Structure 1
Amino acid sequence: MLDRRYITLSILATTLSYTKAAQRLFITQPAVSQQINSLEQELDTKLIEKDGNRIKLTTAGHQLVQYVDKISFESDRVLQQIKTKQAKQTIEVGATLSLSIFLLPTLISHLVRTNPKIKTVIANTNEILTALRQGKIQFGIVEGNFDKNEFDAVNIRHENFVGVTYPDNPLAKYNQLSLDDLMNQTLLIRELGSGTRDIFANWLATQNYTINDFTNQVEVANPSTIIHLLLNKMGISFMYESLVTEQLSHRQLVKLPLKNFDISHPINFVFLKNSYFKPNYLKIAQKLIN
């Protein structure tokens, strides 16, 4: 079990208040200060510093809290595994909105064979990574960027990333388009924090453009809504080809023949770095590899 001082540091990192931390721990405020001071002396490093009338964690403090939270989450899961029969254990899995449509069902179909209780969290990449840090999920499938020092990952596949529009769009008649040809179109784009948005924004940057260069922008947090708008003859968008395979095959939507736009992006199965359960997670990830 973790030293009480580390738990105190973790709670202080959440509250950023000695008073609130004391209330959460049912101890006095001086006791909280004493525990933090003791920990800093033992480690010979500053963990908390003043920021005006407030407090904040130092870089070392952030690193230690991240480690403490990981150990705490893992310990809770090990104890739960010991106490609970497999049939009663719950698997918590996260997926980004795009991947929840075409990849999460495959993952669930594999998991349900041995784990009848499954809980899913559907959110954007940043939110899935936060859920991992907070122990709300055990692993996730994401397409966005992540810190390889913080998370382990298995690349499970690559997905083609395409521009799409409705067949009646005047752009659809061209054999090749430039970015300038798209600027007056209504761009249907995902929200900040979305891996899909990041992919497109990063590519635009290589061409010396930004999303704000588009005259009309509609930010939509759900890929299914974006597809619905495209089918109703609104604008253009950029997404994984697997999201619109059926619509493309029936020519309800068409690809934009954009010059120098050839993107295939990795899809990753992610979990906390050096997790005790890593062998189990690797087995699950292997089932998703084409």
Structure 2
Amino acid sequence: MLDRRYKTLAVLAKTLSYTKTAQHLFITQPAVSQQISNLEQELEVKLVAKNGVHIHLTSAGEQLVQYVDRILLENEHVLQQIRTNSEEPIIKIGATYSLSTFLLPRLIKNLLPTTTKIHTLIDNTAEILTALRQGEVELGLVEGNFDKNEFDAITIQNEEFIGVTSQKNPLLDKTTITIADLLPEVLLIRESGSGTRAIFANWLATQNYQINEFNQQIEIANPTTIIELLKSDVGISFMYKSLIKSELDKSTLVELPLDGFKITHPINLIFLKESYFAKYYTEIAKKLSN
């Protein structure tokens, strides 16, 4: 178990107030100051700095708090399993909107023989990462970018990322399409924080373009809504090929022959760095990869 001084530092990092930290921990303000001072002396590094009447964590302090938060979450996870007195764990999984459609159902089906206690959270990549940090989920199915110093990852599969539109779009009369051809189109795009949006935006940047250069942009959080609009002959979009396999097979939607656009992106199962449950999570990833 962690020394109480580390827990005090973790609380102080959230409150940025010795008074509020003392109130939260039911100790005196001088006790908080003494614990932080003792910890700094023991580690021989400055953890908290002052700027006038305000305080902030130093770079070393922030790194230490990230580690402490991970340990506290792991402790709570272990204790929760001990309290339930059960060998059957509750698996809490976060998945992005896109992956919840074609990959999360497969994962749940594969897990059912070993557990019936599965909780899910569906959101964009940024929110799934936050949920992992806060212990709301243990695993995240994401396609977006993440800090590899903060999370461990197991690649489940590589997924083809394509441009798509209705089969009735006059753009398809062209043998090949350039970005300039797309700019007058209605771009159906995911919201900020979405891994799908980030992939497309990053590719555009390599071509010296930006999303805001499209004449019309409609932000939609739900990929199902985007697909329905596309099928109604509204605009263009970019998404994972598996998400619209049925529509492509029926030719209700068609891949855009965009010149120079060839993206395959890894789908990852991620969890907190150096987790105590890493071996267990790896077994789950194997089930999903098979």
Fold match by TM threshold 0.5? yes
1:17 aligned partner: 17
Kindly provide the amino acid, as one letter, of the partner of residue 242 in structure 1.
Answer: S
1:210 aligned partner: 210
Cα deviation, residue 218, structure 1:
0.7
> Structure 2: how far apart are the matches of 1:283 and 1:138?
14
1:146-225 map, 5 Å? 146-225=146-225
Cα deviation, residue 53, structure 1:
3.5
1:99-114 map, 5 Å? 99-114=99-114
1:79 aligned partner: 79
1:235 aligned partner: 235
1:127 aligned partner: 127
Cα deviation, residue 85, structure 1:
3.6
Task: Mark the CA change 1:289 to 1:252 in structure 2 (over 3 Å): closer, same or farther.
Answer: same
What is the CA deviation profile of residues 138-179 of structure 1, one whole-angstrom value per residue up to 9, with x for unaligned ones?
Answer: 111110111112111111101100001111111122221000
Kindly provide the amino acid, as one letter, of the partner of residue 241 in structure 1.
Answer: K
Q: How many residue pairs align between the two structures? A: 290
Cα deviation, residue 89, structure 1:
3.5
> Structure 2: how far apart are the matches of 1:124 and 1:48?
33
Cα deviation, residue 98, structure 1:
0.6
> Structure 1: how far apart are the matches of 2:240 and 2:44?
49
Cα deviation, residue 5, structure 1:
0.7
Which ranges of 4 or more aligned residues in structure 1 deviate by more than 6 Å? none
Q: The residue matched to 1:161 in structure 2 has which SS?
A: strand
> Structure 1: how far apart are the matches of 2:184 and 2:144?
28
Kindly provide the amino acid, as one letter, of the partner of residue 249 in structure 1.
Answer: D
1:266-281 map, 5 Å? 266-281=266-281
Q: The residue matched to 1:287 in structure 2 has which SS?
A: helix
TM-score by length of 2: 0.96
> Structure 2: how far apart are the matches of 1:248 and 1:55?
56
Kindly provide the amino acid, as one letter, of the partner of residue 97 in structure 1.
Answer: Y
What is the CA deviation profile of residues 33-78 of structure 1, one whole-angstrom value per residue up to 9, with x for unaligned ones?
Answer: 1111111111111111124432221111111111111111111222
2:55 aligned partner: 55
Cα deviation, residue 88, structure 1:
5.8
Unaligned 5+ runs, structure 1: none
> Structure 2: how far apart are the matches of 1:234 and 1:60?
51
Greater mean deviation of Cα atoms: 131-140 or 237-246: 131-140
Task: Mark the CA change 1:65 to 1:198 in structure 2 (over 3 Å): closer, same or farther.
Answer: same
Over the aligned positions, Cα root-mean-square deviation in angstroms equals 1.3
What is the CA deviation profile of residues 199-242 of structure 1, one whole-angstrom value per residue up to 9, with x for unaligned ones?
Answer: 00111011110111111111111111111111122110000011
Kindly provide the amino acid, as one letter, of the partner of residue 269 in structure 2.
Answer: F
2:245 aligned partner: 245
- Asked if the contact 1:89/1:117 (under 8 Å) is kept, the reply is yes
1:97 aligned partner: 97
> Structure 1: how far apart are the matches of 2:43 and 2:14?
21
Equivalent pairs: percent with the same residue?
A: 62
> Structure 2: how far apart are the matches of 1:88 and 1:259?
51
> Structure 2: how far apart are the matches of 1:78 and 1:131?
18
- Asked if the contact 1:93/1:138 (under 8 Å) is kept, the reply is yes
> Structure 2: how far apart are the matches of 1:11 and 1:216?
45
Cα deviation, residue 182, structure 1:
0.3
Unaligned 5+ runs, structure 2: none
- Asked if the contact 1:87/1:117 (under 8 Å) is kept, the reply is no
Q: The residue matched to 1:9 in structure 2 has which SS?
A: helix
1:282 aligned partner: 282
Cα deviation, residue 84, structure 1:
2.1
Greater mean deviation of Cα atoms: 46-55 or 180-189: 46-55
